[in-house]
Amino acid sequence: MNLLTIVFSLILVVANPWIATSGAFAKAPALGIRIGRLQHGRYDAITDVSGVRVGNVTHIEGSGRLVAGVGPVRTGVTAIIPRTDVWERKVFAAAWPLNGNGEMTGTNWLNEAGALEEPILLTSTLSVGRVYDGVETWMIQQHPGVGISDDEPIPVVMEIADDYLNDQQGRHDTPADAVAALNAAVSGPVPQGNVGGGTGSVAFDFKGGIGTASRVLSTDDGGYTVGVLVNANAGSDADSLLIQGVPVGLELSKLKSVDPSSHSIDVVIATNAPLLHDQLEALCRRAALGLARDGHQSHIGSGDLFIAFSTANVVPHYPVERTYTATVMDVQHENPTFIATEDAAEEALVNALLAAQTMTGRDGHTVEALPHDKLLAILRKYGR
């Protein structure tokens, strides 16, 4: 890391306290780790897409031996709301599984209609049903006619298996937690690491969790923003971890001692670029390329699940008119959004590792945080 990079990183941290070198707002750029050439948004987060809000409920309770159904508890719920009243003002969207050994509810209708009409929730595998129930409760609170004089929501709930650290059988993410996470959702800086749905996550044998990043296109390319949020519980081959193309996992292999069975990742992509369903599915596929740059490998045991939405247009709820007008980007101009998505996805996974803290869960299972000092020394060794 050269002197210019160090000075730039210090200026970045002072000017943006929510882009830090450690803690819940740790970001690759603050540590001098530059991914791609595009600039990130104000918060380097999915919330840089105007109107997008994120909320979390986190459970870190108990210690010692596992008592199935009781604890210890290392789990939580993360909620992403695309915009105010997405039920009445739907967004174009697409869902895509790189590998489908996981659950992402509500996507049959989402892909059929090409639009999203509910928030997106992230949770633990065995809590999917309870969180789904909570979303229904929240939607009824927002729209009392739901299921009576109005249509029925089909919530989107994504999951990861957090059984290495958490008492999954206890299904500790409740309907009330889903409601609380949705009510807590705000714009602005997004906490990362051991929060919400990422509380019990493990990635590349280090502590994983929630990570987020954004990219802003140049004015010539439309000035659009792409934001990505991941729940990183991935990396079945720990040695495969790459950062800026450097084999960090191999260099740090002596530090890693865990072998969790969960290797999934949830990826949420938001943009204000005017893209339709098929174009948003293309963003999902490009996000997978970004993860591949980090060394992510999709195995048959993985739930590698992607969802993308665009806030540029409004898809009306029960329109009176037979047609409505939407602005659509021509496919010949999509490439910059692909690059932005790949870069933001690559950094979001890195940010999850940078922000996560060492955690001890059930049966004394301990997962170490990625050591920043050793990471930076390795990057310097390879001239990064």
Q: What is the pLDDT of residues 97-125, one digit of tens each?
A: 999 999 999 999 999 999 999 999 999 99
State mean pLDDT over 82-89: 97
Query: How many Cβ atoms from other residues are within 10 Å of residue 381's Cβ?
Result: 10
- Give the structural domain span for 214: 35-381
Among residues 136, 247, 196, 207, which one has the least CA distance to residue 355?
207
> Within a domain: residue 224?
yes
Indicate whether 10 belongs to any domain.
no
Please tell me which residue, 78 or 297, carries the higher pLDDT value: 78
What are the tens digits of pLDDT across the range 203-242?
999 999 999 999 999 999 999 999 999 999 986 667 889 9
| Residue 119: inside a domain | yes
Residue 30 falls within a domain, yes or no?
no
Enclosing H/E stretch for 180: helix 175-184
Catalytic residue from among 201, 298, 302, 310: 302
Q: Which residues pair with 379 in a beta bridge?
A: none
Q: Which of 264, 294, 298, 310 is catalytic?
A: 264
**What mean pLDDT do residues 86-91 have?**
98
- CB neighbour burial string for 305-342, b if at least 16 within 10 angstroms, e if fewer: bbbbbbbbbbbebeeeeeeeeeeebeeeebebbbbbbb
Digit-coded pLDDT (tens) for 281-294: 999 999 999 999 99
Does residue 11 fall inside a structural domain?
A: no
Backbone angles phi, psi at 93, to 5 degrees: -155, 165
Q: What is the band of 54 on the pLDDT scale with cuts at 50, 70, 90?
A: very high
Residue 370: its pLDDT value, please?
Answer: 95
Instruction: Decide: 337 and 273 in contact? Cβ < 8 Å.
Output: yes
State pTM to two decimals.
0.95
pLDDT on residue 318: 86
Q: How many domains does the chain have?
A: 1
DSSP state of 170: G
Share of the chain above pLDDT 90, in %: 87
Query: What percent of the chain is predicted at pLDDT more than 70?
Result: 93
Task: Identify whether 88 is part of a domain.
Answer: yes
The pLDDT of residue 64 is above 60: yes
Does the active-site annotation cover 302? yes
Number of H helices, E strands in the chain: 8, 14
> What is the structure's pLDDT at 262?
54
Residue 201 sits in a domain whose CATH number is 3.60.70.12
In a domain, 256, yes or no: yes
In a domain, 271, yes or no: yes
What average pLDDT does this structure show over 120-147?
A: 98
Q: Catalytic: 257?
A: no
Q: Is 330 labeled as catalytic in the residue annotation?
A: no
Count the Cβ atoms, other than its own, within 10 Å of residue 261: 10
**Over the stretch 316-374, which tens digit does the pLDDT of each residue have?**
998 889 999 999 999 999 999 999 999 999 999 999 999 999 999 999 999 999 999 99
The length of the chain in residues reads: 384
Give residue 11's pLDDT band: very low, low, confident or very high (50, 70, 90): low
Which one from 48, 162, 173, 304 is the annotated catalytic residue?
304
